[in-house]
Chains A and B, each alone.
Chain A
Amino acid sequence: MSLMKDIDMQDDFVEVPLDRMRACPQCDALYHLQPVQPRERAACKRCGTVLIAPRAFAFTRIIALSVAALILLTIALFTPFLDLSAAGMHSNASIWDTAMAFSDGMMAPLSIAVVAFIIVIPALRLGLIVYTLVPLARGRPAGIHAAGAFRLAEALRPWSMAEIFVIGVAVALVKIAGMASVTPGIAFWSFCILVIMMIWQDSFVDREQVWSALHRGSRTANTA
């Protein structure tokens, strides 16, 4: 991170057109947009929120990492997750079994929530991001409802809990270590790599970069 330098955004508003202004989403401080180079960051002077942090080839990298994560998620769904053996008995659970642990009776809503948090929402976010960025990376007009798709992906961000699930698995393994031996399966490892991919992918996402590209993309679509 030492390569990044913080740059100031000017705050001289005399005759600044509206579309050259940005406000901090956290504290509403107003700034005059300045060009920010890849690996530089513009942060809010007042509250420190990073406002703009573009990366070179960001869209291509985000798409590649998202597709890789989606493939790993598919593998994780259809391969063994954990294998438990104790006193000559075997038991194994796939990720699907884990999510369905609450599926009977009044616990069913919890099963739906777990499926959503660890499978559906992460997959949906990745899909929406790929849908939004693929045309933009190729310099084509943005897809239909691309703005809505990216807005939904952003709104779902706190509800995507794959990384929390991985820590949960680690805790569960320690809890049963005393009573049985557990062997992690292919799904376990693909899930761990998938979480790293998702965190890495997220580090390339700069909202200003995406929204300005989307805006340009939709304007070319309108004039074409």
Chain B
Amino acid sequence: MSERILTAREAGLVACTRCGLVHTPRTQNCTRCGAPLVSRDRHSLQRVWAWWIAGLIVYIPANLYPMLLTNTLGTRTRSTILGGVVELWAHGDLPVALIVFAASIVIPVGKFLAIAFLAMSINKRRFMSVHAQHRLFEVVEFIGRWSMIDVFVVAILASLVQFSFVASINPGIAAICFALSVIFTMKAALAFDPRTIWDD
């Protein structure tokens, strides 16, 4: 960073994070788009942690309980998230196994770590430059929703494979836990005020 950058806050102003318009302090709502104005969201980290913990709590049963209940000619199999990936891998569908592995294991775990790291190190520069922190935040915000793939896969399989006793697939309890976990961690990422990353 060669040059000094002036922020709206340093200029004694408050900016709208929805449309970018700048206002005098103590303005309540943006005069252009109506969004509430805060210079920095002081309760942001508190909400991030609340959603993070909620997401982690439901992520545990999501991995322990079955995601899919398959019934083929009276034989019942239950597969967990990890079990489903192993199955795809064993079938030789490597690219798809990797997509599911990324969407349901790498992204969620990576997201928990990244959000926790950002929440703990916000405006500290010990481990990462401010640019790297910002990049990490953008990645977390962008990629989190893609974990929902696995929930949709279960929904499609369960609605399609319904041949009464010959073959049927039903959703397991993990599907609902996993969906909640994705929603909660998305809320955690959205609760961040990215402007605080840049504050000194």
Contacts and interface: CB of A to CB of B under 8 A. Distances in A.
Contacts of B35: 151
B149 interface: yes
- Per DSSP, are chain A's interface residues mostly helix, strand or loop, or mixed? helix
A93 to B, nearest CB: 4
A87 B9 CA distance: 68
Contacts of A176: 157, 160-161
A91 B175 contact: no
B125 interface: no
Interface in B155-186: 155-163, 166-167, 171, 173, 175-176, 179, 183, 186
Contact of A27 (B99, B100, B194): B194
B22 interface: yes
Q: How large is the interface on A (under 10, 10 to 19, 20 to 34, 35 or more residues)?
A: 35 or more
Given A102-B171, A154-B18, A110 B151 contact: yes
B86 to A, nearest CB: 13
B156 A30 contact: no
Given A91-B160, A100-B159, A174 B93 contact: yes
- Most A CB contacts (10 A, CB to CB) among B9, B15, B150, B159 go to B159
Nearest to B198: A27
Given A27-B197, A101-B158, A107-B175, A171 B15 contact: no
A113 B18 contact: no
Contacts of B154: 101
A100 B171 CA distance: 11
A114 B151 contact: yes
- Most B CB contacts (10 A, CB to CB) among A18, A47, A98, A178 go to A47
Contacts of A212: 32
Interface in A194-208: 207-208
A164 B190 contact: no
A57 to B, nearest CB: 22
Given A18-B22, A110-B171, A178-B91, A102 B155 contact: yes
Contacts of B198: 27-29, 46-47
A100 B158 CA distance: 10
Contacts of B7: 23, 27-30
Interface in A136-170: 147-148, 150-151, 154, 158-159, 161, 164-165, 167-170
A179 B20 CA distance: 53
A129 interface: no
A26 B134 contact: yes
A207 B19 contact: yes
Interface string B4-33: 011111110101111111111000000011
Interface of B: 1, 3, 5-11, 13, 15-24, 32-35, 72, 88, 91, 93, 96, 99-100, 131, 134, 141, 145-146, 148-163, 166-167, 171, 173, 175-176, 179, 183, 186, 190, 194-195, 197-198
Top-7 shortest CB links A-B: A168-B152, A23-B15, A172-B156, A101-B158, A101-B159, A28-B7, A23-B8
13 contacts: A25-B18, A26-B134, A29-B198, A30-B13, A86-B166, A93-B156, A101-B158, A102-B155, A113-B179, A117-B148, A164-B146, A165-B152, A208-B20
